[in-house]
């Protein structure tokens, strides 16, 4: 059974389908949204991950130094 179902519609012939509606002459053309830069939160998350990784590596290095000195 499919997760998403579409309502069944009666089969229509091409002669009975209405022509597509024409846009208004004085309406401005629709602007296409183009995402050309990532959201700001992405930079913040990457910065936190990089800092957390460096802190974790420094802590592990400190543990290695302490373990070798014993």
Q: Cα dist. 38→20, 30, 34, 46 in Å?
A: 36, 23, 11, 12
Mean pLDDT of 6-16: 58
| Residue in the block written with tokens 């992405």 | 42
Q: Cα dist. 24→17, 27, 28, 29, 31 in Å?
A: 21, 5, 9, 10, 15
Report pLDDT digits (tens) over 14-27. Answer: 566 666 666 555 66
Q: Cα dist. 30→6, 24, 27 in Å?
A: 28, 12, 9
What is this structure's pTM? Answer: 0.44
């Amino acid at each position: 059974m499919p997760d998403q179902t579409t309502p069944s519609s009666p089969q229509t012939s091409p002669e009975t389908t209405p022509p597509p509606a024409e846009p208004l002459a004085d309406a401005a053309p629709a602007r296409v949204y183009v995402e050309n830069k990532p959201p700001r939160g992405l930079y913040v998350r990457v910065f936190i991950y990089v800092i957390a990784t460096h802190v974790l590596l420094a802590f592990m290095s400190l543990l290695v130094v302490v373990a070798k000195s014993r």
